[in-house]
Amino acid sequence: MAEYAVIGAGSWGTALARVLSKNGHDVTVWSIMEDEINMLKEKHEHLQKLPGVKLPESMKFTTDLKEAIEGKDMLVLAVPSIFTRSTSHSMKEYVTDGQLIVNVAKGIEEDTLMTLTDIIKEEVPQARVAVLSGPSHAEEVGKDMPTTLVAGADTKETAEYVQNAFMCDFIRVYTSPDVLGIELGGALKNVVALAAGMADGLGCGDNTKAALITRGIAEISRLGIKMGGKPETFAGLTGIGDLIVTCSSKHSRNRRAGQLIGQGYTYKQAMDEVKMVVEGVYSAKAAVGLSQKYGVSMPIVEEVNEILFSDKPASDAVKDLMFRDKKTEAQTLKWGE
């Protein structure tokens, strides 16, 4: 039996901790919030983030970061992306050489334009770092609904270790060496999901949603490939797969926040209403920064930023997207002679 720690007790961290425990592993969950840990100890259920999902009695809970980390075979870092750097920094003194950290959050750091795995590597250089991502809402994982994920790492051995830890009768895990592509797909789809939600809030239909998903993955792929990600990744689970579920699901906090913004809320009001971290808001500026750095056109991402941070009405953004200069769909396709 392996010993694992999940650092972060939000909905996704709690759901994954339950999976690891049900797989027969010794699992400790850490949170910085004492009230949250006391609730988990007493109820063995996260009443706010994952109500109705009972956690195994064998799971342990702590606010002591040293206790959570020391001696563990794998650390699952499940804090919101905006806290990845600060939490990694706090973890550094307790992490031993070669200890495995698996990032399961999705985002890009606004100031540095770094992916989350790169942040972890910078803050905890002695660790091995991997990523676990894919189209997966905690609410469904908590109910044992079939889910597929991708474990990405620099070595096949590390990716397969993560695969084996999480694989079960309702979670199928694939492996991939394209850590960068996985990270970019997971972060950038949240920005497009905000746009999809805005379209819902404006009363647009299925045609609009399909267009946003399709043109959204085109933008994500253009940037991701320019940065070194692989086309297969953006056509797979952590690209188009994650984008589809986040743009469409009732569980998607990014889609829900976008819907409220489309109805006239500011992004701050929308985040307050959703009552959870809306990762796409934090990744939106970083996405524009990356598009400018690498010279990649991302009109949907640009319009989302205008709506979020420059008070542009969502209805005007739709018009501007529709009346852009005429284009061909795929630049690589050539007309016959």
Within 13 Å, how many C-alpha atoms sit on residue 72's CB side? 27
Ramachandran angles phi, psi of 151, nearest 5°:
-100, 120
- Annotated active-site residue 41? The verdict is no
CA 95, 280, 284, 213 torsion: positive or negative?
A: positive
CA dist 70 and 99 (Å) reads 10
SS3 285: helix
- Residue of 22, 189, 209, 230 marked catalytic: 189
Beta strand residue intervals within the chain, DSSP E: 3-7, 26-30, 60-62, 74-77, 100-103, 128-133, 147-153, 171-176
CA dist 16 and 78 (Å) reads 9
Would you state the torsion angle of the CA atoms of residues 6, 113, 227, 186, taken in this order, to the nearest 10 degrees?
40
> Which amino acid makes up residue 205?
G
Active site positions, annotated: 189
